Every structure is written in C-alpha cells, then in structure tokens.
Amino acid sequence: MTRVELQTGFPSDFLWGGATAANQLEGGWDEDGRGPSIDDAFPGGKERLNILSSEDFDWTIDPQKYRYPNHIGIDHYHRYKEDIALFAEMGFKCYRFSISWSRIFPKGTETEPNQKGLAFYDSLINECVKHHIEPVITLAHYETPLYLAKHYGGWQNKQLVTVFDRFVKTVIHHFGDRCHYFLTFNEINSAATFPVLGQAMVPSTGAKQKKNVFQAWHNQFVASAMAVQTAHTFDADIKVGNMLLLATSYAYNADPKNQLATLRHNQDFNYFCTDVQVRGAYPAYTKRLLAQYNLTLADLDRTEAELALIQQYPVDFISLSYYMSTAINVTEDTGATANGNLIGGVKNPYLKSSDWGWQIDPTGLTIGLEELYDRYQKPIFIVENGLGARDDFKDGKVYDDYRIDFLKSHIEAMQVAIADGVELMGYTPWGCIDLVSASTGEMAKRYGFIYVDLDDAGEGTFDRFKKKSFYWYQQVIASNGANLSNDLSY
C-alpha cells in the first residue's frame, strides 16, 4: 500500500516578505509638513507602557524628561531606497508597511492632503514596484495624529470615523492603482489591554472606562467597513484585511473551569473584533462580555445605518500577528506569570521564553491558524511573527542562529496548517530590518534580517549590515519554503 502524502508545500503565489510600521522606522517626524503622531509622545525605555498607562500622562512631549526614539526611527525616511533594495535582494514578493496618517493629514482634520507626504509614499511604492515587490499597506498602525488624541479624545469620538475615512479615500484613490492589499487597524484587539496604542486613549481621557474602549472599537468597525467599501468601489480586485493580535490560548489543565475560562478568553480577546469584522455582526456573547463591565449594548452609540454598513462590508481576509501563546488558570495560583505581546498570562511549563519573556510556541501557531480557519473559512495572512533578541554585532556580522531557529520552526508550523487545509496567503516576519520596539522603544530588541548600527541612546552610524538570517531567508524564499536548512556559509 502506498502512503498518502499530505500537501505541505506553499502555494506558488505565496507572499513571502517582511513587515514594518512607519512610526517605528521612518524618523523624519517633523519633516516636509508631517504632524506629530501619538508615537512621537511615547518615551523610550522599558517603562514606556507604564508611563502611558499612568493617570498623569497627558500627551506632552518633554525632551528634557524623556528620549523619543520614534522621532528618528532608523532614518528610513532618507534611506528607503537602500532598504528596499536589500529587501529585493532577499527576494521579497511583498513588503508590509504603514502609511503615517499625520504625514498625509498633519492634524488629521485638514480637508486637503499634504502633497509632500503623498510624494514620499509615491516614491516608496514606485521603488517597491520597480523591484517587483507587492506593497501591503497598513492604514492604521498605532499612528493616530497626536492632535486627534489630544483634542478629540481618540477613537471613542465618532468624528474620527469621518476624518479617517478622508485619509483612507485619499490613500486608496492615490495609491490604489499600484497597491492591491490593505489592512485596516493593526492588532485591533490589543485595546483590551492597552487602548493607548490602537485607540489613542489614555487614562486622563477615559481609557480606563471600558465603555469608551467598546465605543472606540465600534467606531473602528464602522471605519473598517467604510475602508472595504472605498477599496471595492475603487477596484473590485483590491483585498482588505482586518489585523488581529493572535495569542493562542490554552487551559492550564483539564479542570473544566479552566477550559471554560479559556473559551471565554478566546471569545473576548482573540475573536470579538474578528467576529464583527469578518461575519459583519456582533456575536451572541457580546452581551455576556459587556455585562462583565456592567454595560449593555444600549450603552454604546450604534446606529442602524452603521450596523448595516458593518454587515455589508466585511473584510476579505484575516491578517494577524503571532509571537506567543498564553495559558489560562483560574482555579489556582501557580505564582509564575509570563510577559507577552501586550498580553501576559500564566507561565506555561512546557515552553521556553525569549529574552523579553515572551513564550516561544510554534505549535501554537498551527493551532491558532486552524482554529481561525475552522471558524471563518477566510484566507489568512501572517503579517507579523518573529523573535525580539539581543544581537552580538562584530566585524560587520551577526550570527543569529537563534532567530533562524525561531522562524524555521514557525514556517514548519505553517506547513502543518496548510496540510490541514488552511488557506495561507503569505508571511511577513516582523521588523525585517531592525527598528524601534513598540512596547519598550528600545533598539536593543531586534527582529531584523538586516542589522542597523544604532543603540538605545540614539548613537550609531545608521549603517545597514546583513545578518546570517538574511541569507537564510533569501534561500527560504528562493525555494518557496522548501529549503529551511541553516547549513549555509556566511
């Protein structure tokens, strides 16, 4: 009897590439008419999220008190041609980046776009096209114009839907002839723990009241539907995805109470936003979820017209970030907790952690992909994944075998999901070139295939160097994922 072989290969049009976000790499924060974005008020350092979560944070930029690494990023604003040429050398089929809203509309409220902002992205996109790299554009990657956070209170205010719609229409009408993939709100569900990033809300503007967080989500669901409408009206072939922070969740043990808590956690964290954006309607468990905060749907300002729009314009595909899994234990205190990507949890004794305490779990990627595909039957695009690590830079080289091991194991995990029928569109590892960390503002936490000579104090030449993983990923792409071997000369 012959053995049945499952299809584990990647589709021939699989989108291999890399991912970045404007605020974390561009720099040039006040050049050519750009207005400040919320990230320009984020201090650098491990205390970043604590500072942003404190009652007295009021969006003031105070260079006497803090360093602001996002102001310079890695100077991609001036070096993007060199960077895209390096991506092309690795063989990128696509490049995920974000368009900085405040580069196009400096305060967010203007009616006419900043032409110099459009010119920058025209040139960047043309550079991608020249190298046969498909742009994948994030419309909102934690980059609300600072003015809208300060004067409108962020996304809890419905006026943001109107001004965001103007931004989206400008972007799609201007770049839609060359770009076929757009993502709406980066890690939209991360507002469950840190509304400052995705919703531009802090405690002093009401971020601790859950009603505001749910209202902001609703406003973003409407804005997401409007983005799909704009894209499809402009060109029916443009595909728009949501963007989910996926943290696959396990019950710590077989105690049914932990199993139920895990189901609830999945609904509340991993599925709530995606259910609305993919299925076009609020899920049945919304009432239970809101009741946890003593809220009902009547507490939210949702019009019939908005709900109809959400239903009419669901996203075309699901995109997600995946770095780690989380474990749920409500029955006992094991004492050990784990850090993670904007969401922590109980320490899982079966997993190792990164230098920053994020639990490494490739099998969790297979499980997460299969759970999502079973639930929605929509194509999935992994638009972030990677290992934040300290690199040892010597004589122009970085031997980052630990990064190769991480990525290799996650690509193998993707193959298992493909063999089980998951429709996977592409893979763009995070921070394909070293950039400023979102959660800590550090340069020391590196993800890239390309090393950037810059440290946490802002010192360095900004020169770019190819790490060992650069050549490894080049080989992965050239073989369409068939050759994952780390046995290469460097």
Q: How far apart are CB 192 and ligand BGP at their closest, in Å? A: 13
CA distance 456 to 44: 8
Q: One of 26, 306, 384, 442 is an active-site residue; which one? A: 384
Q: How far apart are CB 247 and ligand BGP at their closest, in Å? A: 10
Chain centroid to CA 26: 16
Q: Which residue, 326 or 439, is less far from ligand BGP as judged by CB?
A: 439
Q: Which residue, 102 or 321, is less far from ligand BGP as judged by CB?
A: 321
Q: How far apart are CB 19 and ligand BGP at their closest, in Å? A: 8
Pairing of strands 352-353, 359-360: antiparallel
Q: Which residue, 366 or 437, is less far from ligand BGP as judged by CB?
A: 437
**Could you give the residue ranges of the DSSP H alpha helices within 2-94?**
22-25, 48-52, 76-90
**Could you give the residue ranges of the DSSP H alpha helices within 235-345?**
256-265, 272-279, 286-291, 304-312
Interacting residues toward ligand BGP by CB under 6 A: 21, 186-187, 321, 341-342, 384, 388, 430, 437-439, 445
What b/e sequence results for 244-268 when a residue is b if at least 16 CB atoms lie within 10 Å of its CB, and e otherwise?
Answer: bbbbbbbbbeeeeebeebbebbbbb
Q: How far apart are CB 216 and ligand BGP at their closest, in Å? A: 17
Please give the radius of gyration of the chain, using alpha carbons only, rounded to the nearest integer.
21
Q: Which amino acid is present at 119? A: A
Active site residue 384: yes
Q: Which residue, 217 or 282, is less far from ligand BGP as judged by CB?
A: 217
Q: One of 26, 134, 187, 306 is an active-site residue; which one? A: 187
Q: How far apart are CB 438 and ligand BGP at their closest, in Å? A: 3
Q: Which residue, 258 or 354, is less far from ligand BGP as judged by CB?
A: 354
Q: Which residue, 157 or 224, is less far from ligand BGP as judged by CB?
A: 224
CA distance 11 to 182: 21
Active site residue 55: no
| Dihedral (CA of 44, 154, 214, 20) sign | negative
Phi, psi of 479 (to 5 degrees): -95, 10
CA distance 228 to 161: 14
Q: How far apart are CB 343 and ligand BGP at their closest, in Å? A: 10
What long-range pairs does 206-210 form, CB within 8 A, spacing at least 24?
206/153, 206/156, 207/154, 210/293, 210/295
Q: Which residues are tagged catalytic?
A: 187, 384
